[in-house]
Amino acid sequence: MTAIPAPSQSKFGTVLRVTSGNFMEMFDFFLFGFYAQYISKTFFPAGDEFASLMLTFMTFGAGFLMRPLGAIFLGAYVDRVGRRRGLIVTLALMALGTVLIAFVPGFATIGYLAPFLVLVGRLLQGFSAGVELGGVSVYLSEMATPGNKGFYVSWQSASQQVAIIVAAALGYALNVTLTPLQIGDWGWRVPFFIGCMIVPVLFMIRRSLQETEEFIKRKHRPDAKEIFRSMLDNWGLVIAGMMLVAMTTVSFYLITVYTPTFGKSVLKLSTTDSLVVTLCVGISNFIWLPIMGALSDKMGRRPILLFFTLLTIATAYPAMSWLTNLPTFNKMLTVELWLSFLYASYNGAMVVSLTEVMPVEVRTAGFSLAYSLATAIFGGFTPAIATALIEATKDKAAPGLWMTFAAVCGLIATLVLYRKRGDVTPGPGARNSEPETDLKPA
């Protein structure tokens, strides 16, 4: 039987251990989006730049279609065998996908086998990521001190921002040291190689994780059949959770993964400008996420979720319209930082809310399924949808409409999940703010 972690174990050290693998998962995903133009020319050559880019973004999105499967099967595994073992498995799968993308030769060398192997790598990454965010979020919620669950869980998202910062910084360094021809030829692979080199270190860090006390003390560990049955019984809760995540996942991929392509291909700004903006967005997200997570511990989740969905609906498209009318670096930075503030403020309360509404016995599977469905349906295809919307409408600000739609989904979900009465604001030692909802766990 796994020993209960010693009370003296550093909370900071535990947060660092559990989020280190989450950093790696997200780092690999971001790289694919950051270098979409170069990847499209290497693996998906086409006569039309739009078609080539769309093939790349569709491959990027295909990884998200695997997330629901990863959420169901790996989520059930984590809920049955433990948080620690499950998080090690997800890291291994992500590492395998990264190796494939980093080392596969281009289309000119091995033909159609190249895009096929890249697709396999993306599918492996998607399968593992389907439960990674849920596993990390649940782990953090179960090890959090009373009254501070929102603050602790916010570090799941904050670790993703570190990945953005590192990926953007690497991109900037490559852009100022290599020529565009060198980057297109082989330079874009360098960050993927660095990711492969980091993996062994992260395995060592994550292996030192101890199981959460809450999981160890649980007397009943549901098998896969019980978990699947619970998911079916709570389908309404999963759908509401999926809509709650919609705004997070759309705004996140819009302001991070899509930003370099949007800045260069649509706004016609330099690659360096776009990467600097992405770097600043990552820093902004990293600052706001724990602040708003902690604020949700004091104010409750519902007021923050409602306020920032409404603010996004009111400002997302106008902000994008202002940017696309005579775009400049300063305007792009201003708008992206505003969208960053909207995303991080909402997400700081949203992620912990999702851990609280799910039945405790299937918390990882339920969280992961809701999150992965939202990512597969809404967020993962955001770069492709944004590209298609601009092409169809000839409106460069059209991605702002997609973010507005996602905010409407988040608003509806918040009203549904908290429709009975508002959540209770937790105090020190109090029960964290779990919503009173008519959607009851099985």
CATH domain 12-210+222-417 topology: Growth Hormone; Chain: A; (1.20.1250)
Name residue 421's beta-bridge partners.
436
Give the whole-angstrom CA distance, residue 66 versus residue 248: 19
Which residues lie below 8 Å from residue 415, measured CB to CB, with a gap of 6+?
Answer: 306
CA atoms within 13 A on the CB side of 13: 10
Q: Which two tokens stand for residue 405?
A: 């739609």
Give the whole-angstrom CA distance, residue 76 versus residue 392: 41
Quickly tell me which residue has 């967020």 as its tokens: 379
Taking the mean position of all CA atoms in its chain, how far away is CA 333?
21
Residue ranges per structural domain of the chain:
12-210+222-417
Closest alpha carbon to 152 in 338, 426, 375, 385:
426
Task: For the beta carbon of residue 179, count every other beta carbon within 10 angstroms.
Answer: 10
Residue 222 in contact with residue 78, Cβ under 8 Å?
Answer: no
pLDDT digits (tens), the chain, 442 positions: 444 444 445 777 778 777 876 777 678 777 776 777 788 778 877 666 677 777 777 777 777 778 788 777 777 776 666 666 777 777 778 788 888 888 889 888 888 888 888 888 888 888 877 777 777 787 788 778 888 888 998 888 888 888 888 887 888 888 889 888 888 888 888 988 888 888 788 777 777 666 556 666 666 565 666 666 777 777 888 899 999 999 999 999 898 878 877 888 888 888 788 888 888 998 999 999 999 999 999 999 999 999 999 999 999 999 999 999 999 999 999 999 999 999 999 999 998 998 888 777 667 777 878 888 888 888 878 888 998 899 899 999 999 999 999 999 999 999 998 885 445 444 333 344 444 444 443 3
